[in-house]
Amino acid sequence: MMKLRGIGASKGIAIGKVLIKKQCNITTDKKSIQSIDNEMERLEDAKKQAIEQLKQLQDNATKNIGESEARIFEVHQMILQDEDFMGRAKEIIQNEAVNAEYAVSCTGKEYSSLFKEMEDPYMRERAADIVDISKRLLELLTNQQDLSLSELTEPVIIAAKDLLPSDTVKIDQKKVLGFILEEGGKMSHSSILARTMKIPAIVGVQSVLSKIQDGDEVILDGENGYVMITPNSEVKNEWLKKQKEYKIKLNRFNQLKGTKSITKDGVVVKVNANIGMPEDVDAAIENDAEGIGLFRSEFLYMNSKTMPSEEKQFKAYKTVLEKMKDKMVIIRTLDVGGDKEIAYLQIPKESNPFLGYRAIRICLDKTDLFKTQLRALLRASIYGKLGIMFPMICTLEEVQKAKKILEEVKKSLQNEKIPFSEDIEIGIMIETPAAAMISDILAKEVDFFSIGTNDLTQYTIAVDRMNSQVAYLYNTHHLSVLRLIQKTIENGHKENIWVGICGEAAADPTLTKIFVAMGIDELSVNSGSVLEIRQMIQNINKKESKAKLKI
């Protein structure tokens, strides 16, 4: 048996035979042509047919997977309609008097390497979309077709170099047990779609295709990112058992939809979801999240080449608020710096970015940028139940300054007769030991605290959360971190404000009992963990746990 490691992209266990999806080899050799007009016409025809196919794909994907996942095919249509991509292919035909296949292949390579070199990981993944579009045009120009994942005869685990979004979306969900891909990251579309379709997947498994053959039996562990090739019967039986247990667990979680996150002795602990982009709200709703406890608004900025306008932000916030209806949506103001870079902000390189110019420090300095975001938030507030949260707070002055700027923005909206809600909760993240230690003072200023255990752990234990060499020290269970959490909850409650946790520790089921015993009011977790944490809460007796709590 061989065991290879990749990146766990979609949870679950798959056991079955491999089918290798080979790349379709379309020849795109350079050929001189007689009539440029003819070649232009061939290209134009291929474009029209491609747009038709994409419309069809979008319709099918909307029905089978969901509107937001299907939107990728609208983007493909837009790229084909945009004069940039097609214009470049036409330019090659015109200038070099060459065949359309060659021109499309060159344009595809040029554009995909342009995307691959981009700093932003989201934009880097868009190279796959360009490859997908070029391949579609080439198939139409040459009348060739690749192995279709919609026509499989038996259930298989697909192994491939990479999967294009259009491959993934066409698959017969009953026949594909899992994906093993050599390329791709957690943010690639194939990973996102695999998660949406609940198909176990691992990506970034280097040179896996040279180590497996069609028909090999494999075990895929989508949670931890392992693939075991040709396991012996003992290993296989062990994993068949784990697979069965996993399915039972999932079923049990699904039955909790519509039930309350309430302890055995009647204490309500809200389980909210964390999101990064407005589209993520669909998964939160699907998993029955009771609200959005953290919308990391910086992803709107990171996924954009330029500063997102007030209008663009307004639309994004409004979408989430409307979809969540009367449920609370807590939007965190811009938290960049540290490990999150934005090129157009031109933040100078620092030797200690996690201790430097980041989050609220930037917003209180670049007040125009901050005010634009606050205007967009206030305008969107009438569409739902909004909470605004300030990150990386260390001092009382920062909270007071942020609130003062918010008041100024409210005044100017009033002067312009632009409506906003009077009922917005204002909170701060407690993610520095400084904030936790003065939480008694800070609690007098706000409506809620949300504890960011990711940063709180790194700052308390002095361990960089990105540095794998010291990762063994990074421990959210460390007594120092737990004591700071407890202190924050106690101080918040003394001032009658609610206290939640939105760092990764909120989704750690081994900590739920401790947090509930401490008196936590809310846990905000990734959408996939909402029901698991709800189940944990339902099995706890808070009074008993509190009596036993020793930290």
Catalytically active residues are: 189, 502
By beta-carbon proximity to ligand PEP, the closer residue of 137 and 330 is 330
Q: Which residue of the chain is nearest Mg ion when measured via CB?
A: 455
Nearest residue to 128 (alpha-carbon basis) of 172, 100, 169, 171: 169
Stretch that binds ligand PEP, among 94-102, 115-123, 174-182, 449-457 (CB under 6 A): 449-457
Select from ligand PEP, Mg ion, none the partner in contact with residue 101, using the beta carbon and a kind-dependent cut-off of 5 to 8 Å: none
Stretch that binds Mg ion, among 86-94, 198-206, 414-422, 451-459 (CB under 5 A): 451-459
Long-range CB contacts for residues 218-221, cutoff 8 Å, separation at least 24: 218/14, 218/15, 218/16, 218/17, 218/18, 218/157, 218/180, 219/13, 219/14, 219/15, 220/13, 220/14, 220/15, 220/157, 220/177, 220/178, 220/180, 221/8, 221/13
Name which position in 108, 222, 452, 492 contacts Mg ion (CB under 5 A). 452
- Closest CB 332 distance from Mg ion, rounded Å: 9
Name which position in 10, 439, 453, 527 contacts ligand PEP (CB under 6 A). 453
* Contacts (CB under 6 A) with ligand PEP, residues 418-447: 431
Q: Which positions ≥6 away from 285 have C-beta within 8 Å?
A: 323, 324
By beta-carbon proximity to ligand PEP, the closer residue of 296 and 513 is 296
By beta-carbon proximity to ligand PEP, the closer residue of 263 and 476 is 476
Nearest residue to 54 (alpha-carbon basis) of 66, 39, 41, 71: 71
Residue 269 contacts residue 246 (beta carbons within 8 Å): no
Q: Which positions ≥6 away from 306 have C-beta within 8 Å?
A: 344
- Closest CB 300 distance from ligand PEP, rounded Å: 14
Residue 129 contacts residue 189 (beta carbons within 8 Å): yes
Nearest residue to 294 (alpha-carbon basis) of 423, 393, 358, 387: 387
497 membership: H or E segment, kind and range? none
Q: How many residues bind Mg ion (CB under 5 A)?
A: 3
273 membership: H or E segment, kind and range? strand 270-275
- Closest CB 452 distance from Mg ion, rounded Å: 4
- Closest CB 328 distance from ligand PEP, rounded Å: 17
What's the longest Cα–Cα distance across the chain? 88
- Closest CB 535 distance from ligand PEP, rounded Å: 23
* Contacts (CB under 6 A) with ligand PEP, residues 120-179: none
Select from ligand PEP, Mg ion, none the partner in contact with residue 387, using the beta carbon and a kind-dependent cut-off of 5 to 8 Å: none
* Contacts (CB under 5 A) with Mg ion, residues 390-449: 431
Stretch that binds ligand PEP, among 15-23, 127-135, 233-241, 448-456 (CB under 6 A): 448-456
By beta-carbon proximity to ligand PEP, the closer residue of 226 and 299 is 299
Binding string to ligand PEP for residues 324 to 363, with x set by CB under 6 A, is what? -----------x----------------------------
Please give the full DSSP string across 374-442, using - where no structure is assigned. HHHHHHHGGGSEEEEEE-S--SHHHHHHHHHHHHHHHHHHHHTT----S--EEEEEE-SHHHHHTHHHH
Name which position in 452, 516, 530, 534 contacts ligand PEP (CB under 6 A). 452
Q: How many residues bind ligand PEP (CB under 6 A)?
A: 10
Select from ligand PEP, Mg ion, none the partner in contact with residue 296, using the beta carbon and a kind-dependent cut-off of 5 to 8 Å: ligand PEP
Please give the structure tokens belonging to residue 220. 């895929």
Please give the full DSSP string across 94-146, using - where no structure is assigned. HHH-B-HHHHHHHHHHHHHHHHHT-SSHHHHHTHHHHHHHHHHHHHHHHT--P
Residue 112 contacts residue 130 (beta carbons within 8 Å): yes
* Contacts (CB under 5 A) with Mg ion, residues 453-472: 455
Residue 503 sits in the site that holds ligand PEP (CB under 6 A): yes
Select from ligand PEP, Mg ion, none the partner in contact with residue 288, using the beta carbon and a kind-dependent cut-off of 5 to 8 Å: none
Question: Helices 367-380 and 396-415, interaxial angle, to 10°?
Answer: 60
Residue 158, SS3 per DSSP: strand
Binding site for ligand PEP (CB under 6 A): 294, 296, 335, 431, 452-455, 502-503
Binding site for Mg ion (CB under 5 A): 431, 452, 455
